[in-house]
Amino acid sequence: MLQFIENDLQAECVALADRAKRASRELAIARGKAKNEWLRRSAEALRVRTEELLDANRRDIAQAPTYGLSAAAIDRLTLNPKRIDEMAKGLLEVAALPDPVGEVITSSRRPNGLEVSQVRVPLGVVFMIYESRPNVTLDAAALCIKSGNAAILRGGKEAIHSNVALHRVLADELVPSGLPGDAVQLVATTDRAAVGYLLKLPDRIDLAIPRGGESLIRRVVEEARMPVLKHYLGNCHVYVDAGADFDMAVSIIVNAKVQRPGVCNAAETLLVHRDVAEGFLPRAAEVLRGMSVELRGDEASRAVVPWMVPAEPSDWDTEFLDKILAVGIVDSLDEAIAHITRHGSGHTDAIVTSDLAAARRFVAEVDSSAVMVNASTRFNDGGQLGLGAEIGISTDKYHARGPCGLRELTSTKWIVYGEGQIRE
Amino acid sequence: MLQFIENDLQAECVALADRAKRASRELAIARGKAKNEWLRRSAEALRVRTEELLDANRRDIAQAPTYGLSAAAIDRLTLNPKRIDEMAKGLLEVAALPDPVGEVITSSRRPNGLEVSQVRVPLGVVFMIYESRPNVTLDAAALCIKSGNAAILRGGKEAIHSNVALHRVLADELVPSGLPGDAVQLVATTDRAAVGYLLKLPDRIDLAIPRGGESLIRRVVEEARMPVLKHYLGNCHVYVDAGADFDMAVSIIVNAKVQRPGVCNAAETLLVHRDVAEGFLPRAAEVLRGMSVELRGDEASRAVVPWMVPAEPSDWDTEFLDKILAVGIVDSLDEAIAHITRHGSGHTDAIVTSDLAAARRFVAEVDSSAVMVNASTRFNDGGQLGLGAEIGISTDKYHARGPCGLRELTSTKWIVYGEGQIRE
């Protein structure tokens, strides 16, 4: 573990990544039993060592003003017995998920008698770079180990003491569970150069996962020489079609906007078909106003609800992450799809409609990681879609798209058994 | 199509990629029937327009000496009626493969009644950069279109006339088949700058696939801002275990080395367990010598077969692509696996053994795209493993590993149907 290293940080980073790579070879063939044992032992240890964790967390909280953290950020950073208990439960939930390693994806017997199968194997070493919430330390370690990958964790400086303490709890249970001691390592320095050094090691690190603000993600993508699993933005749309049920549409846009405005699958733009604008928009606008949502309308929607703030062109491309909603009227389903194609971020988009043909066209033509028909955008989430825990949501199309669970942390291998077959 | 463009090549490249992106949206929702219709019409057109293709090819052959092409390279470049007929058959074989688009990967009904499915969708736009063999123009176009992707093709300058003619045949059948006319575009300039411009357009091009020598691939990886599907090297091993059948082992190493020495799944190193070196190695060496294979042995194997050339350290890391084989003796299965882990390229490795435990350990611990037990390394091939045609072999672990067929040219999308569900 790199702790407060000052000299030769680069060499330490290489050595850390080497240890991770060696550990990953043992982990790749570790039994599911050992991995689950580690998850259960770690859950128990979190509870037993709660005081030690709270002590470390208090040091982070004490220094939070130095970093100018907002009250909300300090709240996200804070640990308490209830939150530690939830973390422990999270580990047990991962233990209960099926082991993705060894899953047979396809298998066949070839005409020449070869027995061919494609099986799931771990990626190898996963490097997780994240911001202040210390529970990501737990989630990332749990999902990496369960999927057979060694983890290198790099949390934010604001949570350094909490992360060191959490990592110590996790690391102490590795060897007793029969797993390599370097399977979970923490980059325990606040020197940002360490991230840069590690991102330059594609032979040792198989995947980088940044979780945090857009600037962190862009920096990682720019510097990484290995694949990066990420999403930049969640500019999500709800489109209320001519054939929509108004009650349902109000309920969905309210849920998509208000239930948790600061997350990536919250809605940022409401599009309404012209035919229902007069009937639907005033109702929806009243309800949203009652929930303190600022509405920014285009000219057509302000003709229907004049008190809306005029929308600026940039509003269509903005992830507000706040109680702000852009509102536009479209003439047709085609126009709605064209708007989403132009302004959307490929994250999550929803249609509210009772028209089967419209639903099918929306599903086929909107090119996003998840497309919802008559459901809130907030359902684009690993737990909600049935993957169990998730390590993030990808808006890329390569390797993984949408919520990333255990399977998305794996690769595959072809295994061929024969009895002396040669190629003719 | 960019043909002999001189001014503002960069703007032309952006325009070409824009056309590809627009075409990809139509292709993503194209019927399988239209895609197969195009494949069948193109196969027919290749036969009907054979003379036109041969004329163009003759122009490439005539200028081949300018590029200093070897006799073997000229042979690979040459078209004749038989080869054109084989290309046409290749298109029909792709038509017969199942359509990967729309395949449901997982589906479930969630406790709240949401119907959730993960379905296969095209990646979007695929940019293929390849060297002299003109049949890649056909293969790449066929696999891209069948998987619903728009193709941008960039063949080598040595084949420019053949590629222009082949592309014309393919492109002429797009609109009559009901597909967008820009679904297959050729970058018909010999200016290498065009490749650099296109590789800088990640918003328009979803995947780059270089096929050719290592220097081409490294250049594409260096410049590309989108994912790259590739393999650098095939440094493949055959390990003859203590429990090997000697006849089988000779047959496998001969096939792996000699059947086609210049391809990536040919063997480059033979490792032999010490216990069987005396019995096996002299026999194998005689047979290989009889087939003009140069053997480069370590000290221990030269003690058994003294006439072998002494191996240099670099031989263990070399993809000879020729009738040359490095030969080493190992003390154990562990040592064989360690050698492959250190020197291998993660492409294809084989064990010959009758010992079940050794086979299972080799399969589990050798981290390669394909691992063979008692079979030739040459079977790591899309056709041989049952994928149908392949667009290349990946030694990466991210997205696709091993032979890449139609599925590897797709992404996924989550589709959720509800009746007004919101997140609690």
**Which residues in chain B are contacts of A252 at CB distance < 8 A?**
420, 422
**What pLDDT is attached to residue A406?**
97
Contact B245 A420 (CB under 8 A): yes
Q: Is the pLDDT of residue A233 over 50?
A: yes
Q: Is the pLDDT of residue A88 over 70?
A: yes
**Which residues in chain A are contacts of B248 at CB distance < 8 A?**
419-420
**What pLDDT is attached to residue A231?**
82
Confidence of residue B395 (pLDDT cuts 50, 70, 90): very high
Q: Is the pLDDT of residue B211 over 70?
A: yes
**B252 inside 8 A of chain A by CB:** yes
Among B229, B256, B291, residue at a domain's last position? B229
Contact A371 B414 (CB under 8 A): yes
Which B residues in the span 169-208 are in contact with A, Cβ-Cβ below 8 Å?
206-207
In a domain, A394, yes or no: no
Among B208, B229, B250, residue at a domain's last position? B229
State the CATH number of the domain containing residue A371.
3.40.309.10
Residues A170 and A267 in one domain: no
Cα A382 from Cα A387, distance rounded (Å): 5
Question: What mean pLDDT do residues B241-246 have?
Answer: 96
**What pLDDT is attached to residue A5?**
52
Cα A390 from Cα A94, distance rounded (Å): 10
**What pLDDT is attached to residue A2?**
47
**Which residues in chain A are contacts of B422 at CB distance < 8 A?**
251-252, 254-255, 259, 375-376, 378
Confidence of residue B132 (pLDDT cuts 50, 70, 90): confident
In a domain, B392, yes or no: no
**What pLDDT is attached to residue A1?**
44
Question: What mean pLDDT do residues A206-218 have?
Answer: 92
> What pLDDT, in 10s, does the model give residues A135-157?
999 999 999 999 999 999 999 99
Cα B102 from Cα A83, distance rounded (Å): 42
Question: What mean pLDDT do residues A220-248 have?
Answer: 94
Residues B218 and B245 in one domain: no
Query: What average pLDDT does the structure give for chain A?
Result: 95
Size of interface A-B (CB pairs under 8 A): 202
**A379 inside 8 A of chain B by CB:** yes
Residues B95 and B205 in one domain: yes
Looking at chain A, the whole-number percentage of residues with pLDDT higher than 90 is 91
**Domain of B54?**
2-229
Kindly state the tokens that stand for A407.
């399977």
In a domain, A283, yes or no: yes
In a domain, A201, yes or no: yes
Which B residues in the span 212-251 are in contact with A, Cβ-Cβ below 8 Å?
227, 245, 247-248, 251
User: In DSSP terms, which residues pair with A326 in a beta bridge?
Assistant: A269, A296
**What pLDDT is attached to residue A253?**
98
In chain A, the number of structural domains is 2
Q: Could you write out the three-class secondary structure of A367-378?
A: CCCEEEEEECHH
Distance from the Cα of B163 to chain A's closest Cα (Å) equals 28
Cα A184 from Cα A187, distance rounded (Å): 10
Kindly state the tokens that stand for A261.
């405005």
Residues A136 and A26 in one domain: yes
Q: Which residues contact A374 (CB under 8 A, 6 or more apart)?
A: A248, A252, A350, A351, A352, A353, A359, B417, B418, B419, B420, B421
Cα A92 from Cα B367, distance rounded (Å): 30
Q: Cβ distance A187 to A194 under 8 Å? A: yes
A2-3, strands of its sheet edge to edge: A2-3, A184-188, A150-154, A125-130, A207-211
**B419 inside 8 A of chain A by CB:** yes
Contact A341 B25 (CB under 8 A): yes
Residues B57 and B193 in one domain: yes
Query: What average pLDDT does the structure give for chain B?
Result: 95
Question: What mean pLDDT do residues B67-82 have?
Answer: 92
Task: State the residue for tokens 């090119």.
Answer: A367
Contact B378 A423 (CB under 8 A): yes
**Which residues in chain B are contacts of A263 at CB distance < 8 A?**
none
**Which residues in chain B are contacts of A106 at CB distance < 8 A?**
386
> What pLDDT, in 10s, does the model give residues A370-402?
999 999 999 999 999 999 889 989 999 999 999
Residues B8 and B148 in one domain: yes
Of A248, A373, A413, the CB nearest to B371: A413
Which residue did the predictor score with more confidence, B359 or A70?
A: B359
Cα A18 from Cα A9, distance rounded (Å): 14
Of A118, A259, A379, the CB nearest to B416: A379
> What pLDDT, in 10s, does the model give residues B164-175?
999 999 999 999
Contact B413 A365 (CB under 8 A): no
Q: Write phi, then psi, for B188 (nearest 5 degrees).
A: -90, 55
In a domain, A395, yes or no: no
State the CATH number of the domain containing residue A102.
3.40.605.10
Among B201, B229, B257, residue at a domain's last position? B229
Of A248, A374, A399, the CB nearest to B399: A399
Kindly state the tokens that stand for A175.
């060897």
**B111 inside 8 A of chain A by CB:** no
Residues A54 and A178 in one domain: yes
Q: Is the pLDDT of residue A333 over 90?
A: yes
Kindly state the tokens that stand for B71.
């006799």
Confidence of residue B1 (pLDDT cuts 50, 70, 90): very low
In a domain, A107, yes or no: yes
> What pLDDT, in 10s, does the model give residues A99-120?
999 999 999 999 999 999 999 9
Confidence of residue B212 (pLDDT cuts 50, 70, 90): confident
A249: closest chain B residue by CA: B420
Residues A213 and A299 in one domain: no
Q: Select from A288, A217, A214, A224 the least CA-distant residue to A250.
A: A288
Residues B294 and B176 in one domain: no
**What pLDDT is attached to residue A214?**
86
Residues A81 and A203 in one domain: yes
Residues B206 and B313 in one domain: no
Q: Is the pLDDT of residue A4 over 80?
A: no
Question: What mean pLDDT do residues A80-99 have?
Answer: 96
Chain centroid, CA B147 distance in Å: 16
Task: State the residue for tokens 């792709």.
Answer: B94
In a domain, A390, yes or no: no
> What pLDDT, in 10s, does the model give residues A301-331?
999 999 999 999 999 999 999 999 999 999 9
**B124 inside 8 A of chain A by CB:** yes
pTM above the 0.95 mark? no
Q: Select from B131, B143, B134, B156 the least CA-distant residue to B183.
A: B143
Residues B314 and B194 in one domain: no
In a domain, A61, yes or no: yes
Of A341, A386, A422, the CB nearest to B376: A422
